[in-house]
């Protein structure tokens, strides 16, 4: 038997590779593998004009092939599935019909093999694709919006001046996260120095410069960080790990973004839910110039003021990068397509110290998308001096790579 195989395969150790050459997507053996048939059924189809396998070694060879061609997989949104040609995956085909995603960008989140000529996707074994990090349920919809949209198709209004003190309402921004650090003065105290945004049941995005050795905790669902009578029921989460963008440059302040992974899953409520990411194709090359955006945070109420204990909010406008480059020309920073510049021409709305890591948000059809992360600026709330924000649509590959 061994001599026969050696003649056909070249040598015994190449036998399995020789057999693989007769396996195709439509072959009986592949159908058996994909249906998880036992090895005996697998083996009966292992025969061609050039190669026939004796029964004693059929089981061993089939076990090898079934292991290598195992179709069991997990996709990036947490679904168990099978690795099949996308044409044979109805849940993903159905989702593609209902989403405004560029097909190539969408499929890369589900690819489960490295054969570019014959790409396969991790197809869920259920008929409907569940929500996950790419499509979290109720993302970007504050509870007030949800109720008011259902009643009168209206949306809540947003006052200006984060740096001059316009307070947010309870539940207005259920994805905002406060990041706490061990106090350098009192080890029993937590100092809330940065913000972030919940984007899945386990992940927070924030600014890379918010990552520090004494970072301790992420708080969700809070409104006033120092008071217990604000109606909020905050929940604190330990941080399992974090990843900073590999191209982060501290001097040039490029790719100022990090992803935190929480130790435990977040239970979504009316007051704790994720914001949407701008994953749709229409966002891929958008610069958002002249669009009105919203920023939130617990930072300073002005250049000379103390930080706010109560969550603040402001409206600002995305501005042209040429003007932004002029403002920052004296600094070694890079202003390019990887950042967004935004501010208020009257100086009545701006991010300030302590707001870092928080979201720059855009409302589209009453759903909020995070388009930027508060990164840096020169001064707070001065006319025609915009702040700089890390562009989310230019960093999606990094973000998605962490959602596993």
Catalytic residues: 209, 256, 356
Question: How far apart, in Å, are the Cα atoms of 395 and each of 337, 390, 404?
Answer: 11, 8, 16
Helix%, strand%, coil% for the chain, nearest 5: 25, 25, 50
Nearest to 395 by CA among 311, 233, 284: 284
Q: Which segments of 37-139 are extended strands (E)? A: 72-74, 80-85, 120-124
Cα–Cα distance for residue pair 205/256, rounded to 1 Å: 11
Closest CA to 195 of 215, 218, 228: 218
With H, G, I as helix, E, B as strand and everything else as coil, classify residue 396.
Answer: helix
Two tokens at 110? 């589900």
Q: Cα(283)–Cα(266) distance, rounded to whole angstroms?
A: 27
What count of residues does the chain have?
404
């Amino acid at each position: 038997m061994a001599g026969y195989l050696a003649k056909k395969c070249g040598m015994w150790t190449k036998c399995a590779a020789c057999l693989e050459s007769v396996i195709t997507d439509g072959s009986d053996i592949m159908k058996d593998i994909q249906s998880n048939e036992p090895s005996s059924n697998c083996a009966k189809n292992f025969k061609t004009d050039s190669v026939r396998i004796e029964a004693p070694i059929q089981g061993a060879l089939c076990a090898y092939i079934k292991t290598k061609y195992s179709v069991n997989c997990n996709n990036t949104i947490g679904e168990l599935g099978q690795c099949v040609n996308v044409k044979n995956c109805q849940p993903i085909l159905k989702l593609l019909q209902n989403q405004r995603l560029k097909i190539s960008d969408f499929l890369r989140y589900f690819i489960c093999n490295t054969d570019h000529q014959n790409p396969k996707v991790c197809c869920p074994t259920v008929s409907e694709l569940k929500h996950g990090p790419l499509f979290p349920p109720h993302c970007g919809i504050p509870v007030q919006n949800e109720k008011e949209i259902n009643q009168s198709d209206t949306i809540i209004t947003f006052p200006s001046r984060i740096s001059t003190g316009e307070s947010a309402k309870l539940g207005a921004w259920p994805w905002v996260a406060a990041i706490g650090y061990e106090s350098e003065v009192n080890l029993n105290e937590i100092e809330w120095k940065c913000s972030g945004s919940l984007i899945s049941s386990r992940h927070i995005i924030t600014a890379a410069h918010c990552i520090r050795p004494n970072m301790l905790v992420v708080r969700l669902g809070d409104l006033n960080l120092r008071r217990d009578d604000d109606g909020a029921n905050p929940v604190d989460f330990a941080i399992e790990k974090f990843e900073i963008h590999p191209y982060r440059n501290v001097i040039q302040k490029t790719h100022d973004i990090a992803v935190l992974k929480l130790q435990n899953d977040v239970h979504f409520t009316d007051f704790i839910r994720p914001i949407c990411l701008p994953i749709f194709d229409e966002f891929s090359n958008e610069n958002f110039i002249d669009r009105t955006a919203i920023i939130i945070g617990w930072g300073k109420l002005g250049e000379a003021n103390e930080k706010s204990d109560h969550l603040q909010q402001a409206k600002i406008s995305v501005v042209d990068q040429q003007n932004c480059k002029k403002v920052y020309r004296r600094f070694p920073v890079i202003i390019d397509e990887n950042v967004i510049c935004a501010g208020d021409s009257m100086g009545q709305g701006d991010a300030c110290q302590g707001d870092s890591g928080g979201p720059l948000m855009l409302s589209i059809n009453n759903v909020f998308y995070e388009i930027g992360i508060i990164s840096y600026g020169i001064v707070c709330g001065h006319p025609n001096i915009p702040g700089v924000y890390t562009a989310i649509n230019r960093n999606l590959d990094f973000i998605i790579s962490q959602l596993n």
